[in-house]
């Protein structure tokens, strides 16, 4: 127990103080004593405000901030922003140090939700070898990186963060005064460079720039971490069970970047193809690097060892075909073979004869080497570098990451309407009712003849749609079937939305019906259920879809697998976080039962954002909030924006996040309960309670968001929504159709703006009213407490509420109401928000049976507490600046003020570790 306590109480204060001391020296150098003393003064005032929240303290801090003028004000903003960036780096170093501390202990002290913890739970719960084999067969997790505009930090700055993190780790393990001195000088240089680097992008990134940013994480981290995690799991299972398991490539990464065209006019068919070429280029380059290292290692001579005849024969065939010896010493057979592999890889990258047909051919060559090595290498001591490369090829193929393609259902409908009108099938397809649409589409799908030819001409938008499907076919033919596997349909509301996509697939040869009725289909078609109404209708729609014989044949051609995407962002924006979570849970449960009755496997694709208001939170927590019955069909989750840098910038942090998710999946599929006391949760009473909670919360949420005619004005004026568009953090517009309607506002800026104003309303609002509807009933509170203790979904929901309520700060948020013209209206709405915040906090604490929010996770609680005094001044400066900006007419002066506003946005985002 003592060792456990030591691990839990490791403090990051030392790193924070160390980095702050260096930052202060940089501030003194860059801005003189005036800057340093001003920053220190505001730090002290802000800390005093947090230690003693008397109104006089707040007034003093706010008054002194209002006296600030540029250029000093800009430097103060940047100082607090850099301070928060360094705090994030220190916290990441703390997490990696904590993980190492656990690994240094004996095997009686295991980190929760580590791979070792998951394997131990399997063994301790008497999960047999056969059962483990079944678990490994069923486990599947795909994480999909997106280009959604939520990463406020430039990649240039992220690289500096990475270098500082590496140096901080080196400093910890340096043992001489000289080494520590040198490392400190290097950290000071990096912080100086960080200070002297422009934080704000001058223009929006292009789609291909976003592709490059995404590939950075594959290049620097994921290409090595994913194989390592697979191999560690295999080794841990063997050690525990004394049995050699084969762990399949269950964990993969996909991407939307370059494939997601929903609302992004910059993503074209050519963009998608170019993206796949860039991915292929990177993965082939990485293989060359890995093979080169392996060639250095495998120097065994055929004069000393017996190699396999199959390898000798393979070398002879390759040398003849390629007219190349591979290596100057022919007795070093492995180097010869690896040299020939390198030659084929280089030919592959140039699309020349002699290259590999596909990744399977490369895999065959590597396995040939492995099998030959086993003839003379000691058993139980495999060449891990070779195993690592084999695993890389199994995971990444020649495509690196499967690219999903997504577009809005309305775009498909418009293209189909134009095609059907032009060929004389339907004059006004859009005007048809759903039954008539389905009848028309099924007839088209049953007819093997195409509707269009390459000579037909259509409108620009329809032609681009057709080219997109032609590109998908070309991509699959060129880069392999895994290059693009799924076509996602945003705002799916009916079966015809899916059949329209199948018609477009048919027209380019991705879908085909043969005369004997057999169907060939090379593309999964996945609906995206986004709104509360769509989630409620989802089970009915899926059942109707599965009743269509032609669609069932399509599913049979796709291995009887249906992918369904669930939208957390728009459902939360539409109905509030708590209602959205319950409707999502119910939809998964109901659709799973329907699919099972048809013999169809499901893969749910969870469109979660990084922020709590968009379904965010730790990866393992996202898994725990789902019905466990859905795990065995495979899980797919988006990894968006800032999540990429916070989870995947550093290898240790990436590994920890992925092992937590893997551990949860292992134990969940095996049927091991997360909670200590097993109950049949959710019971009927628990389900009924959640329905009541959801209905009550929905009514409260929509009463404010849709029922109050002043609410949109409150939101627009009382948050930095209108200033966010200038941040240039993504290639995609903030609004669909460029309108000012609430319905067309994307969920990302909706959450981003509330986060900046410290209200975080989408993540918690109306939950208190919903929970109270049960708590005030007889035995209601006891039921809620039982649900919290024994139902992972409800526990994750309550814990996410705790996090959101803790990060929200209504005293700071109150300052933002000063930006609203109608002060009477501002006070009225803000008081509603304040009352609901108090009620939600009260309910959550009673249910979790805690004294204070986040008592169950003291490390995170302490982190928020330490950040707040650094974030608060940025919020108050932001309010001051936005008030000035909105009153200015002078373009040059407005531009200067706007740049300072954007700096505060970046700083606050770093402090809260969330944007949208």
Predicted confidence at residue 146, as pLDDT, reads 87
SS3 call for 794: helix
Q: What is the dihedral of CA 370, 374, 375, 377, to 10 degrees?
A: 120
Q: How much of the chain is helix, strand and coil, in % rounded to 5?
A: 65, 5, 25
Q: Judge whether 321 lies within some domain.
A: yes
| CA distances from residue 630 to 546, 592, 604, 624 in whole angstroms, order as listed | 18, 7, 8, 11
Label residue 678 exposed, middle or buried (CB < 10 Å: 0-12, 13-18, 19+).
exposed
Predicted confidence at residue 371, as pLDDT, reads 95
Please check whether residue 504 is in contact with residue 498, taking contact to mean a CB–CB distance below 8 angstroms.
no
In which element (H, E) is residue 567 found?
Answer: strand 561-567
- Our CA angle for 131, 135, 138, nearest 5°, is 135
From 95, 69, 86, 73, select the one nearest 24 (Cα to Cα).
Answer: 86
Please check whether residue 661 is in contact with residue 141, taking contact to mean a CB–CB distance below 8 angstroms.
yes
Predicted confidence at residue 49, as pLDDT, reads 84
Beta bridge partners of 145: 255, 639
Distance of alpha carbon 181 from alpha carbon 178, whole angstroms: 5
Distance of alpha carbon 237 from alpha carbon 483, whole angstroms: 31
Q: Which one of 573, 592, 603, 807 is the catalytic residue?
A: 573
DSSP one-letter string for 67-106: T--TTHHHHHHHHHHHHHHHHHHHHHHHHHHHHHHHHHS-
Number of structural domains in the chain: 2
From 879, 880, 854, 865, select the one nearest 911 (Cα to Cα).
Answer: 865
pLDDT along the chain (916 residues), means of 10: 42 84 94 95 90 79 90 95 93 84 76 93 96 95 79 76 91 89 94 91 85 93 97 96 95 95 92 98 97 95 95 97 95 97 97 95 97 90 91 97 97 97 96 97 94 88 97 95 97 97 97 90 97 94 97 96 91 90 94 96 84 63 82 87 81 93 92 61 95 98 96 96 77 56 75 92 96 97 96 93 94 95 97 98 98 91 88 96 91 88 91 65
148 classed as catalytic: yes
Distance of alpha carbon 550 from alpha carbon 552, whole angstroms: 5
Q: Judge whether 764 lies within some domain.
A: yes
Please check whether residue 511 is in contact with residue 450, taking contact to mean a CB–CB distance below 8 angstroms.
no
Q: Judge whether 757 lies within some domain.
A: yes
Sign of CA dihedral 845, 848, 851, 852: negative
The model's pTM:
0.90
Q: Which one of 148, 337, 412, 554 is the catalytic residue?
A: 148
Looking at 382, 403, 431, the residue that finishes a domain is: 382
Distance of alpha carbon 567 from alpha carbon 572, whole angstroms: 9
Determine the length of the chain.
916
Distance of alpha carbon 59 from alpha carbon 274, whole angstroms: 55
- Three-state SS for 252-286 is EEEECCCCECCCCCCCCHHHHHHHHHHHHHHHHHH
| CA distances from residue 502 to 44, 466, 572, 769 in whole angstroms, order as listed | 63, 12, 30, 44
Predicted confidence at residue 677, as pLDDT, reads 43
573 classed as catalytic: yes
Question: Where do we find the tokens 């009463």?
Answer: 703
Domain containing residue 751: 684-912
- Helix count (H) and strand count (E) of the chain? 38, 11
Q: Judge whether 772 lies within some domain.
A: yes
Distance of alpha carbon 408 from alpha carbon 424, whole angstroms: 25
Question: Where do we find the tokens 């131990």?
Answer: 120
Distance of alpha carbon 750 from alpha carbon 740, whole angstroms: 12
Task: Say which residues have a Cβ less than 8 Å from residue 451's Cβ, sequence separation at least 6.
Answer: 419, 420, 423, 425, 444, 503, 507
Predicted confidence at residue 8, as pLDDT, reads 44
| CA distances from residue 346 to 311, 356, 509, 612 in whole angstroms, order as listed | 21, 9, 31, 45
Quick one: tokens of 803? 């996090």
DSSP one-letter string for 490-521: ET--SHHHHHHHHHHHHHHTSEEE-TTS-EEE
Predicted confidence at residue 678, as pLDDT, reads 47
Looking at 382, 401, 436, the residue that finishes a domain is: 382
SS3 call for 638: strand
Q: Judge whether 607 lies within some domain.
A: no
Looking at 336, 357, 382, the residue that finishes a domain is: 382
Residue 591 backbone phi and psi in degrees, to 5: -65, -35
Q: Judge whether 775 lies within some domain.
A: yes
Distance from chain centroid for Cα 157: 20
Q: Judge whether 279 lies within some domain.
A: no
Q: Judge whether 538 lies within some domain.
A: no
Q: What is the pLDDT of residues 753-802, one digit of tens each?
A: 999 999 999 999 999 999 999 999 999 999 999 999 999 999 999 999 99
Quick one: tokens of 634? 């495979």
Predicted confidence at residue 97, as pLDDT, reads 82
Please check whether residue 623 is in contact with residue 814, taking contact to mean a CB–CB distance below 8 angstroms.
no
Predicted confidence at residue 295, as pLDDT, reads 96
């Amino acid at each position: 127990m003592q060792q456990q306590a030591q691990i839990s109480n490791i403090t990051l204060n030392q790193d924070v103080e160390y980095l702050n001391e260096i930052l202060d020296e940089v501030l003194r150098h860059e801005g003189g004593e005036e800057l340093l003393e001003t920053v220190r003064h505001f730090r002290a005032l802000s800390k005093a405000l947090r230690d003693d929240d008397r109104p006089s303290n707040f007034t003093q801090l706010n008054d002194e901030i209002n006296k600030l003028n540029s250029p000093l004000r800009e430097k103060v903003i940047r100082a607090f922003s850099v301070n928060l960036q360094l705090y994030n780096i220190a916290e990441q170093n703390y997490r990696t140090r904590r993980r190492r501390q656990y690994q240094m202990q004996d095997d009686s002290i295991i980190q929760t939700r580590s791979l070792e913890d998951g394997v131990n739970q399997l063994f301790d719960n008497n999960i047999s070898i056969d059962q483990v084999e079944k678990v490994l067969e069923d486990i599947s997790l795909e994480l999909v990186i997106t280009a959604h505009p939520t990463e406020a930090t430039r990649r240039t700055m992220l690289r500096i963060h990475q270098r500082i993190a590496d140096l901080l780790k080196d400093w910890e393990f340096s043992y001489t005064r000289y080494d520590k001195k040198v490392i400190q000088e290097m950290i000071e240089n990096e912080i100086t460079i960080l200070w002297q680097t422009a934080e704000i992008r001058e223009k929006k990134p292009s789609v291909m720039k976003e592709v490059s940013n995404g590939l950075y994480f594959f290049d620097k981290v994921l290409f090595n971490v994913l194989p390592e995690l697979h191999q560690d799991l295999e080794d841990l299972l063997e050690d525990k069970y004394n049995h050699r398991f084969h762990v399949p490539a269950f964990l993969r990464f996909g991407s939307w970047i370059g494939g997601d065209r929903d609302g992004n006019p910059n993503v074209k068919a050519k963009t998608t193809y170019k993206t796949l070429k860039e991915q292929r280029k990177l993965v082939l380059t990485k293989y060359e690097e890995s093979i080169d290292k392996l060639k250095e290692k495998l120097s065994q001579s055929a004069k000393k060892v017996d190699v396999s005849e199959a390898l000798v024969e393979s070398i002879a065939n390759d040398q003849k075909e390629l007219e190349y010896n591979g290596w100057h010493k022919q007795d070093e057979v492995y180097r010869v073979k690896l040299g020939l592999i390198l030659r084929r890889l280089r030919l592959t990258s140039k699309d020349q004869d002699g290259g590999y047909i596909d990744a399977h051919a490369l895999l065959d060559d590597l396995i040939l080497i492995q099998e030959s090595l086993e003839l003379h290498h000691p058993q139980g001591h495999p060449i891990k570098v070779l195993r690592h490369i084999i695993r890389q090829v199994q995971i990444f193929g020649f495509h690196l990451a499967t690219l999903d393609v997504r577009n809005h259902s309305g775009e498909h409908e418009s293209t189909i309407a134009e095609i059907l009108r032009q060929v004389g099938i339907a004059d006004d397809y859009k005007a048809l009712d759903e039954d008539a649409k389905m009848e028309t589409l099924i007839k088209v799908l049953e007819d093997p003849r195409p509707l269009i030819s390459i000579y037909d001409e259509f409108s620009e938008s329809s032609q681009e749609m057709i080219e997109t499907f032609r590109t998908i076919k070309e991509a699959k033919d060129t880069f392999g079937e895994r290059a693009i596997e799924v076509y996602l349909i945003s705002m799916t509301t009916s079966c015809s939305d899916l059949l329209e996509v199948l018609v477009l697939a048919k027209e380019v040869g991705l879908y085909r019906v043969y005369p004997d009725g057999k169907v060939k289909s090379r593309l999964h078609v996945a609906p995206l259920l986004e709104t509360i109404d769509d989630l409620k209708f989802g089970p009915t729609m899926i059942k109707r879809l599965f009743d269509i014989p032609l669609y069932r044949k399509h599913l049979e051609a796709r291995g009887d697998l249906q992918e369904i995407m669930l939208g957390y962002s728009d459902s939360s924006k539409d109905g509030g976080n708590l209602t959205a979570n319950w409707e999502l849970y119910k939809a998964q449960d109901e659709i799973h039962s329907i699919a099972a009755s048809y013999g169809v496997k499901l893969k749910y694709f969870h469109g979660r954002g990084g922020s709590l208001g968009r379904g965010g939170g730790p990866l393992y927590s996202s898994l725990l909030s789902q019905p466990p019955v859905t795990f065995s069909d495979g899980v797919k989750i988006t990894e968006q924006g800032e999540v990429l840098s916070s989870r995947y910038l550093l290898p240790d942090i990436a590994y920890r996040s992925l092992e937590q998710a893997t551990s949860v999946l292992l134990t969940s599929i095996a049927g091991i309960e997360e909670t200590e006391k097993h109950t049949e949760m959710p019971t009927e009473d628990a389900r009924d309670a959640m329905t009541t909670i959801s209905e009550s919360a929905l009514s409260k949420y929509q009463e404010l968001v849709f029922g109050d005619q002043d609410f949109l004005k409150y939101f627009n004026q009382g948050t930095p929504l209108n200033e966010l568009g200038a941040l240039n953090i993504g290639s995609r517009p903030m609004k669909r159709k460029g309108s000012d309607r609430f319905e067309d506002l994307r969920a990302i800026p909706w959450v981003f703006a509330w986060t900046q104003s410290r209200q975080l309303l989408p993540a918690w609002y109306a939950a208190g009213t919903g929970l109270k509807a049960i708590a005030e009933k007889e035995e209601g509170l006891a039921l809620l407490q039982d649900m919290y203790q024994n139902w992972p979904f409800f526990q994750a929901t309550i814990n996410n509420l705790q996090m959101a309520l803790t990060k929200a700060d209504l005293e700071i948020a109150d300052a933002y109401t000063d930006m609203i013209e109608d002060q009477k209206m501002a006070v009225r709405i803000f008081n509603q928000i304040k009352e609901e915040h108090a009620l939600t906090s009260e309910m959550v604490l009673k249910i979790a049976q805690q004294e204070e929010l986040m008592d169950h996770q003291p490390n995170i609680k302490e982190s928020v507490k330490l950040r707040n005094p650094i974030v608060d001044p940025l919020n108050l400066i932001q309010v001051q600046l936005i008030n000035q900006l909105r009153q200015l007419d002078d373009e040059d002066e407005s531009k200067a003020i706007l740049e300072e506003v954007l700096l505060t946005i970046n700083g606050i985002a770093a402090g809260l570790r969330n944007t949208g």
